[in-house]
């Protein structure tokens, strides 16, 4: 290691114990302790403190030290702790002046017993119980938040909530218009993938003509709303959580409350409405792009005429399929925005808390979307929609 | 309880208040009152819960126990609308300024005036410029909080705190992070505002130069016993207090204040 050769000194740090007849134990520290490696172990040295009877006093001798740093100080403090347990006085007069001063400084304030929650180790059952209670409480917090959102929306329509229309447009632009490229790309690719997957199966029966039906139903009912929702969770939900979380850190949310603005009305509502308006539109757009992607594959690679493809699609997709897809989009949009804002509002007051809020907004958003989508699939099957 | 005097009635009264985070008690059994027009200081070592106690005074933290009265009305027993009105009569300057980062300095102030008053847009604009000029930020109307320095953000926060001409101004460590000259100027500004607006001022601080310069009355909170250990005018506390923690805090500052000037010269 370059660091060690630079020092041009061998690692000759050593610590020995010497017992005098009067019961004094002298801890002798010798050589250069300014080395990062090969420091004598504290534990073995202290383990030998009681050899041949308990010491009456302990002396630290550093007259033959050629260099020292915090590594040696840690050993010295270890000696102090061990002697405090045995109620044995320690004499530091033999240490270098600087080291003596550091010892005095470190021992000036006795360690305080703190009731820091994180330091206590809990048993498995206690931790499990605490987690359960926390979960129940957090469910309560979510319901309170949703209630507040509904209340704020009602207030908005009664003209009672402070609401900045500029914000709504800004968020609609950021969440909607600026998401166009990525939604286009993903939707076209999804449509193409569905077409390929369907084509290889249908080819066995010479029924490639039905690719259009498979793509249309798959994209319109399932893939377009779900993929748009997931894109929104990653793009916009995370942004919402980080924005509001940073405002928590800067005390901006507190400032809103004291000024008499409801943080829900001022921060959450514009975001919620922006996504509720933009998501159905994005969803509709994703459906068209997906069908387009399917058509591209079918026409260029499987030789299906475009007009046939369009006819097939039109005969298969009904208005109820479309409204199903758009409805899902609306619900997913509201869920993504609400989860993002909730995580932001719950955010702690540190940089890492903002990161956690953003991560958790994305994860909870995606989980919620998939769960709701599965639920919708089951209900639709049972009700034959 | 001391009898309320006729000429200076208590503006804020705190009765047996305990503030806590969950099970962790921050400060317990606090009782004090702030008279109208006073500059009232909340002092104490770092981490003893000064800010939390102040947050309870203007309604951000609900006390675990006890009452906070504003002009004789119990804050937490009042209805939601009454409470909102009481909060709006308080102006708060947060430690970091806490300006709304998506709004310009002018908008930070005007949004309050537009929402809570019936002023015309032109009047709003004039008042905004006036408030910014008061804190020495004339011409910075169109700047965003991220484009100005920390000290300026704090002054802009003060302008916003005064937007609705509040009856009580709360300051959370106003001079933290400011150089001595700016900090002294802020003290003068606080006193001037108090005199011209007739507002009551509550300040959380451990800046001793400010303590003696502007404090009319003060309480001293302790981190170990977790309650109030001294109450009175800071200069009188310095002269007569027998509580060792208070003496150490105040005399150390008096020494440092003098020593700081002499030892600055080489």
pLDDT of residue A234: 94
Owner of token pair 């010295």 = A76
Q: In chain A, which residue's Cα lies nearest the Cα of B107?
A: A164
Does the beta carbon of A51 lie under 8 angstroms from any beta carbon of chain B? no
Determine the Cα–Cα distance for residues A304 and B55; give it in Å rounded to an integer: 70
Instruction: Give the pTM.
Output: 0.72
Q: What is the DSSP letter of A41?
A: P
Angle subtended by helix axes A224-232 and A180-203, to nearest 10: 150
pLDDT of residue A186: 96
Determine the Cα–Cα distance for residues B218 and B236; give it in Å rounded to an integer: 10
Ordered DSSP codes for A292-342? HHHHHHHHHHS---HHHHHHHHHHH--HHHHHHHHHHHHHHHHHHHHHHHH
| ipTM value | 0.75
Q: Measured between beta carbons, which residues in chain A are less than 8 angstroms from residue B161?
A: none
Q: What is the DSSP letter of A37?
A: S
Determine the Cα–Cα distance for residues B106 and B113; give it in Å rounded to an integer: 11
pLDDT in tens, A162-191: 667 788 898 999 998 899 999 999 999 999
CA distance to partner chain A, nearest, from residue B64 (Å): 18
CB contact under 8 A, A260 and B87: yes
- Mutation target to probe the B interface, by most B beta carbons within 10 A, among A259, A264, A268 is A259
Does the beta carbon of A167 lie under 8 angstroms from any beta carbon of chain B? yes
Does the beta carbon of A134 lie under 8 angstroms from any beta carbon of chain B? no
pLDDT in tens, A186-244: 999 999 999 999 888 888 888 888 889 999 999 999 999 999 999 999 999 999 999 99
pLDDT of residue A1: 36
Owner of token pair 């005007």 = B110
Ordered DSSP codes for B193-223? HHHHH--EEEEE---HHHHHHH-SEEEEE-T
B66 — alpha (psi -120 to 50), left (phi > 0) or beta? left
Per-residue pLDDT of chain B (266 residues; tens, 9 = 90+): 444 444 556 888 888 889 888 788 888 888 898 988 889 999 888 778 888 899 899 888 888 888 888 888 888 888 888 888 888 888 999 888 889 988 899 999 998 888 888 888 888 888 898 888 888 888 888 999 999 888 888 889 988 998 888 889 999 888 877 778 878 888 888 888 888 878 899 999 877 777 888 888 989 888 888 888 888 888 888 888 888 888 888 877 555 444 333 333 33
Determine the Cα–Cα distance for residues B200 and B166; give it in Å rounded to an integer: 9
Q: Answer yes or no: is pLDDT of A301 > 50.
A: yes
Determine the Cα–Cα distance for residues A335 and A364; give it in Å rounded to an integer: 10
CB contact under 8 A, A252 and B100: yes
Residue A256: name the closest of A182, A171, A163 by CA: A163
Chains A–B, number of C-beta pairs less than 8 Å apart = 48
Give the long-range contacts of residues A355-358, CB within 8 A, separation 24 or more. A357/A241, A357/A242, A357/A244, A357/A245, A358/A238, A358/A239, A358/A241, A358/A242, A358/A245
CB contact under 8 A, A251 and B101: no
pLDDT in tens, A9-18: 455 777 888 8
CA distance to partner chain B, nearest, from residue A323 (Å): 36
Q: What is the DSSP letter of A109?
A: S
pLDDT of residue A283: 95
CA distance to partner chain A, nearest, from residue B83 (Å): 9
pLDDT of residue A161: 63
Q: In chain A, which residue's Cα lies nearest the Cα of B103?
A: A167
What is chain B's Cα-based Rg?
A: 19
Write down all domains in chain A, each with its CATH number in brackets. 2-108 (3.30.750.24), 162-383 (no CATH)
């Amino acid at each position: 290691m370059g660091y060690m050769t630079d020092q041009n000194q061998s690692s000759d740090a050593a610590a020995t114990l010497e017992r005098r007849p009067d019961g004094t134990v002298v801890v002798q520290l010798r050589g250069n302790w300014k080395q990062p490696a090969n420091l004598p172990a504290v534990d073995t040295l202290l383990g030998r403190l009681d050899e041949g009877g308990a010491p009456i006093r302990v002396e630290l001798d550093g007259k033959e030290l050629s260099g020292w740093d915090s590594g040696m100080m840690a050993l010295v403090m270890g000696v102090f702790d061990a002697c405090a347990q045995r109620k044995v006085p320690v004499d530091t007069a033999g240490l270098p002046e600087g080291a003596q001063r550091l010892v005095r400084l470190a021992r000036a304030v006795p360690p305080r017993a703190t009731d820091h929650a994180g330091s206590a180790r809990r048993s498995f059952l206690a931790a499990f119980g605490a987690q359960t209670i926390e979960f129940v409480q957090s469910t309560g917090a979510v319901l309170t938040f949703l209630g507040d959102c509904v209340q704020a929306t009602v207030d908005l329509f009664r003209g009672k909530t402070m609401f900045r229309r500029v914000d709504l447009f800004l968020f609609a632009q950021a969440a909607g218009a600026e998401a166009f490229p990525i939604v286009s790309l993903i939707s076209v690719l999804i449509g193409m993938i569905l077409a390929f997957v369907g084509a290889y199966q249908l080819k066995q029966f010479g029924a490639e003509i039905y690719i259009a039906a498979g793509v249309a139903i798959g994209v319109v009912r399932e893939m377009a709303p779900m993929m748009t929702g997931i894109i929104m969770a990653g793009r916009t939900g995370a942004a919402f959580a980080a924005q509001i979380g940073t405002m928590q850190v800067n005390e901006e949310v507190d400032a809103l409350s004291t000024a008499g603005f409801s943080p829900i009305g001022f921060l959450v509502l514009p975001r919620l409405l922006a996504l509720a308006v933009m998501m159905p539109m994005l969803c509709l757009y994703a459906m068209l792009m997906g069908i387009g992607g399917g058509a591209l594959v079918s026409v260029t690679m499987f030789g299906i005429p475009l007009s046939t493809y369009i006819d097939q699609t039109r005969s298969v997709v009904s208005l109820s399929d479309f409204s199903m897809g758009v409805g899902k989009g609306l619900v997913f949009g509201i869920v993504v925005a609400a989860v993002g804002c909730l995580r932001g509002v719950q955010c702690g007051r540190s940089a890492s808390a903002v990161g956690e809020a953003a991560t958790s907004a994305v994860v909870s958003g995606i989980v919620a979307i998939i769960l709701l989508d599965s639920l919708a699939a089951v209900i639709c099957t049972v009700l034959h929609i | 309880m001391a009898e309320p005097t006729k000429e200076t009635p208590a503006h804020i009264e705190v009765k047996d208040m305990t503030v806590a985070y969950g099970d962790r008690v921050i400060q317990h059994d606090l009782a004090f009152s702030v008279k109208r027009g006073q500059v009232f200081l909340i002092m104490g070592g770092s981490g003893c819960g000064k800010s939390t106690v102040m947050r309870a005074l203007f309604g951000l933290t609900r006390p675990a126990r006890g009452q906070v009265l504003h002009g004789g009305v119990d804050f937490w027993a009042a209805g939601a609308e009454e409470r909102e009105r009481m909060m709006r009569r308080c102006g708060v300057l947060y430690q970091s300024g806490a300006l709304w980062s998506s709004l310009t300095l002018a908008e930070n102030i005007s949004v309050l005036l537009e929402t809570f008053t019936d002023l015309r847009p032109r009047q709003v604009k004039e008042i905004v410029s006036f408030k910014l000029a008061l804190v020495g930020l004339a011409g910075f109307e169109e700047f965003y909080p991220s484009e100005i320095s920390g000290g300026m953000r704090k002054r802009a926060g003060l302008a916003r705190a005064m937007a609705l001409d509040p009856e009580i101004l709360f300051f959370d460590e106003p001079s933290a992070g400011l150089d001595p000259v700016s900090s002294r100027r802020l003290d003068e500004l606080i006193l001037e505002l108090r005199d011209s607006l007739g507002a009551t001022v509550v300040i959380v601080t451990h800046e001793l130069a400010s303590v003696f310069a502007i404090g009319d009355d003060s309480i001293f909170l302790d981190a170990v016993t977790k309650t109030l250990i001294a109450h009175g005018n800071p200069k009188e506390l310095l002269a007569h207090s027998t509580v060792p923690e208070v003496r150490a805090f105040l005399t150390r500052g008096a020494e440092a204040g003098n020593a700081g000037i002499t030892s600055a010269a080489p």
